[in-house]
Amino acid sequence: MYWYYKYTFWLIILIILIGVGNLAWRRFHPASGSPEDPVTVGTEVVLPFPVPDSVDDTPVVPPPATGADGGSDQVADPPDVAVAPSQPVTPPAVLSQAVERRLSTAEEQLAKQNLVGARILAHKVTETDGVVKYGAVWERAVAVISQANTALFNCDAPAPEKVSYKVREGDSLVRIAYRHKTTVGALQRLNRLDPTDSTIFAGNILYVYECDWWISVTKSKFRLLLMNGDELFKCYPACIGRQNRTPVGIFEVNNKVLHPPWKDIPYGHPENVLGTHWLGLKPIEGTDLRLIGYGIHGTWEPETIGTSASQGCIRLRNEDVAELFDLVPSGIRVVIKDDE
């Protein structure tokens, strides 16, 4: 009996050792892909740190599928398309600081009478991405441009658009103005000539403005923009027709009148609403030919500027329409639009 129990005891010990050994083997040598492996379904893994830039995240393209006949079922690759490199985006805060610095410098240069330099800086502000037309920053920059150009127009200081002309025998202000597509008033302002005396002498040097003038009116903004080609020269606040009476279209300045009558009411009469100057408009380039009788004129009611109060014409302050009258010759284009 003693031997039998001893044999049974060692058999049990052997079975235990085999079991322990098997568990240890499975623990340190797990079978890959065994049915007992846990499977995570629908769990998103969030890394606690960003993936380094050096990681190659190029997508892997699978080999083309092959049909039963050995031909490829893969759709042909599209042609290569050149992709422009992305441009760095300037954060709004950085952009506004840079614009503010440039605009402040322009205002400082204007105060120092560096008119051309101030104008150049202000134009760069208006052309900056993110600066909205008719927005606050744009308005400040345009104020610098307008003031600088007003000063340049009323003095003999040099500017790129000013060219010198030597008066010849037989010349007159009218002839010089016609030859250079400008006005007598512009010549008088530029050269500080007496507006009541048109006498000039051979050998005199005059400045002449050579510009590609045209006018843009935006009704919703109550603004008249005097343009020199693609470049803004000056912005004037305006009054437009009440009840949408100001027409849109393309027009031409076809007559200019100093101290204009209104209908049968003479200039200076309290009921004459045209102010000091009149620039008549004629429809052109497909604009309804029945749109006649409209114009740009002054007003005795400056408080109406910036509102819809006229009978259809475009009103400016008297001092503004007087300046515009001297700046632009007859024949220039005027584009009137509702909005932009």
Terminal Cα distance for the chain, rounded: 113
Q: Which of 211, 235, 239, 297 is catalytic?
A: 297
Contact predicate 202/270, CB 8 Å: no
Q: Which residue's structure tokens are 């307008």? A: 146
Kindly tell me the sign of the dihedral angle through the C-alpha atoms of 231, 234, 235, 236.
negative
- CA-closest candidate to residue 258, choices 249, 250, 268, 244: 268
- CA-closest candidate to residue 191, choices 175, 178, 174, 173: 173
**Calpha distance 139→133 (Å, rounded):** 8
Contact predicate 233/211, CB 8 Å: yes
> Is residue 123 flagged as an active site residue?
no
**CA neighbours within 13 Å on the CB side: how many for 264?**
0
- CA-closest candidate to residue 203, choices 165, 175, 174, 177: 165
Contact predicate 332/247, CB 8 Å: no
DSSP one-letter string for 315-340: E--HHHHHHHHHH--TT-EEEEES--
Helix (H), strand (E) at residue 258: strand 249-258
As given in the structure block, the two tokens for residue 262 are 């209104």
| 103 contact partners, CB below 8 Å, separation of at least 6 | 121, 122, 125, 137, 140, 141, 144
**Calpha distance 250→277 (Å, rounded):** 21
Q: Per DSSP, what are the bridge partners of residue 213?
A: 228
- CA-closest candidate to residue 167, choices 201, 194, 198: 201
> Is residue 297 flagged as an active site residue?
yes
Q: Which of 211, 235, 239, 313 is catalytic?
A: 313
User: Which residues participate in catalysis according to the annotation?
Assistant: 297, 313
